[in-house]
Amino acid sequence: MNSKKSLIKAGAAAGVLALAVAGGYVAHADGVNAGAVNAHPSPPPGATALPSFADIVQRVAPAVVSIEVEGKIGPRQIADQFGGGDGDDDTNGLPPELRRFFQQQGRQAQPQTMHAAGSGFFVSADGYIVTNNHVVENADKITIHTADDRTFKAHVIGRDAATDIAVVKVDGANLPFVSFEDRAKPRVGDWVVAVGNPFNLGGTATAGIVSALGRKNVSDSSYVDYMQIDAPINRGNSGGPTFDLYGRVVGVNTAIFSPSGGSVGIGFDIPADVVAKVSKELISTGKVARGYIGAQVQNVTPDIAESLGLKGKGALVAELTPGGPADRAGLKPGDLVTKANGQPVESATDLTRAVGLVRAGDPIRLEVRHEGQVREVVIRSGARPAEDQLAANTPRGGGEREDSDGGVTGALGLSVAPDPQGQGVRVAGVDANSDAAQKGLRRGDVILQAGGRAAHAAADITAAVAEAKKAGRHQVLLFVARGGQHTFVPIEIGQG
């Protein structure tokens, strides 16, 4: 299973740690080995032998299954696996050879048959199996292979794209299963064992340690802080469990960081507490219910903080869904959310999770700052739409207008002109050596605000630059629209 750039949806290669089991290598005292310096090895003073994982694997492996998937996949889904692309062309983002293949078939290319393999594990004796959402999301047919060579047909009970967790079920009884335990809280340096189906080999166990906890930005998910492990995992290990030395599930393998496509010893697991909560809700209702306020937020980077003259952190509101809960409650683009239901908000992820914890209809009390004023906004939460519905409602790009000539704001490295739609100031040109170019501004972008003030002409941006300089700031915060999406971009003030 693929992911974006060098982050690959996971699998595993056979480890060699089993060679270094308790007791170590022992040379036989025969005629050949009698003079060997390691004929009677002993550990150095104070050292302990590495553990054997044989008993653990023997106990838990029967609950681990191999998953075979068959389905249809089109160019858009394949492009998303490679990181996606801008615009309306479904083939944007594909490698050149795949793009040519689909373009040769025309824009209405038929979906192609897809075969894939992953891993999973029983969590009940009657056949519920936890795996990754990306393993089964495009599946028309799911086949389960058990450790004792039995084969079952499975159907999807529920999927949660936000955490990449899915539950499927087979018809069976008295099946071996594993459970989640609250006590299974690993620490960095603890031994772990990953069991799964790498490269469709089936029944493979690899061992390593917990390398890090609380890894953010591993994927697009705002609901998971990943556990990093160095037990080798590869393609096909997706959805398989990772166990501690007590045989308790501590995570689910979901992705690897790999410049080469194979394991380099950096793998990522969804922590067991997240998996347990999500899987139980999927089994109970078939879906995961989360709160929703209809606001896109972004982190306050040091540049944004400097441009706003802020010292604290928070979640900066960039865009509101018209008529959504936040819009109706009076939240505004540019508001800085610092608390949610009394808890500090230090990042966009903090706010997303706080909202996700509430149920539809529940109130969410936000403390916000805007232009130096602090106020409280109470929002009545809605029900969060499915992730694919949210993605479908998010524009994938927009056209750029090539005509232009207008005012120049040299201090920011931008030339601008009035927007034909009257919504702001359109970027007519960007100095390639400017900070604006480094931050990704491009011709056709529309600047709606500069320094927190509405921008209708080049003079408004010039005034914002002058105001920032007077306040001793080195950045001006621009509110920029592109193809239906909005974001705040701090631009360094040059000498122009």
Q: Which residues are catalytic?
A: 134, 164, 238
What are the structure tokens assigned to 28, written together? 């036989």
What are the structure tokens assigned to 403, written together? 């005509």
Output DSSP code: residue 358.
S
Burial 21-54 (b: 16+ CB within 10 A, else e): eeeeeeeeeeeeeeeeeeeeeeeeeeeeebbebe
The structure tokens 């936890």 sit at 130
In this structure, the strands spanning 267-271 and 226-229 are antiparallel
DSSP, collapsed to helix, strand or coil, labels residue 208 as: strand
Q: CA 122, CA 130: separation in Å to the nearest integer?
A: 7
What's the start-to-end Cα distance of the chain, in Å?
49
Q: In whole angstroms, how large is the CA radius of gyration of the chain?
A: 27
DSSP, collapsed to helix, strand or coil, labels residue 162 as: coil
CB 240 within 8 A of CB 253: yes
CB 361 within 8 A of CB 380: yes
CB 57 within 8 A of CB 193: yes
In this structure, the strands spanning 249-257 and 267-271 are antiparallel
What are the structure tokens assigned to 350, written together? 């903090």
- Of 211, 268, 239, the closest CA to residue 68 belongs to 239
- Of 412, 321, 316, 403, the closest CA to residue 368 belongs to 316
